[in-house]
Chain A
């Protein structure tokens, strides 16, 4: 079936597993923008973008952390390497990271309770705005498709690993 199906539907709401995946994404985003700003490679619009988005990701991380409670998975390690070599590399990596977040949230929407769904829906469109924003600054296609395809958990983890995340 060609329709973008809800991936990995596992029957009853599987909030914790999904929230842990989302936590990994939000931790990565928060670390990525923090490292980019610390690296001193950004100025102008890209610096403003990174500042604003870092703030958003910190809020997302706070919401997901609160939902998970005390028993959090171990912090991953980050080595963004050449993705922070210069402003252009940062912008490309940021777009890929935000696209990954969109695909991850959309891919997991069918696996969560209505409560988590409602919060995730308020986050995912902000991630999509970030993805389009950084592309707009770089004069690249902000919205290359008519629909955003969902991603599987494995696709998400592979993308994060390629960006320098080690769990």
Chain B
């Protein structure tokens, strides 16, 4: 089970820690700085002012970012993904966590809760990890593209488009690592929300009902 909580990760420096071993540590700084721009949306543009459609689209995007962030974070923690793939997992994981943090900040109390994930050992198997990363990133590109046209707030459209092309970069990166062509077609087709959610559900990675942990009964306090 992933223990991802972007706010907590930010607070305890885990994002920086994730990059400690990277010669390209400035990447994290650049990533967070760019997301800082996202976070700097004026208060009036935040949850209270979001239209119903924009709230819906942002929560859908948040769901996909939760999935990606949890996936890369777990892969990084597994320590089984090494070399260039391990480095990519760290870097992309930090960026996906930043996306989660940005959407949580935008949505405030309207944000959907993070589900539990069970990646079924994929995050501990280098080939399966890369194959799944390719699928997630290609899916994210198609998903953002499918929604961008629906978004009503110009500031949110701009932010979503800026993330959309970063997901495409990730897709190409993971494809290159997996040994397949990073850009197959001249045009990337969008996917509908229904198509995307069906594909995500098929993975079985999202565990809907949180496992109830056995707890000791509280002592009698009279």
Contacts and interface: CB of A to CB of B under 8 A. Distances in A.
Interface of A: 1-6, 9, 52-53, 55-57, 59-60, 63, 102, 106, 109-110, 114, 117-119, 121-133, 136-137, 141-150
Interface of B: 24, 27, 30-32, 34-38, 40-42, 45, 91-92, 95, 98-99, 141, 145, 148-149, 154-155, 157-159, 161-173, 176-177, 181-183, 185-190
B186 A59 contact: yes
Given A143-B95, A147-B34, A148-B165, A56 B186 contact: yes
7 contacts: A125-B168, A126-B183, A129-B171, A132-B172, A145-B30, A147-B38, A149-B162
Nearest to A145: B34
Nearest to A48: B181
B40 A2 contact: yes
B149 A102 contact: no
Given A4-B159, A145-B31, A133 B166 contact: no
Nearest to A60: B186
Contacts, number: 176
A142 B166 contact: no
Q: Give the one of B42, B149, B166, B183 with max A CB within 10 A.
A: B183
A102 B165 contact: yes
B176 A136 contact: yes
Contacts of B27: 141, 144
Contact of B166 (A6, A53, A63, A146): A146
A2 B42 CA distance: 9
B181 A52 contact: yes
A128 B188 CA distance: 11
B34 A129 contact: no
A93 to B, nearest CB: 18
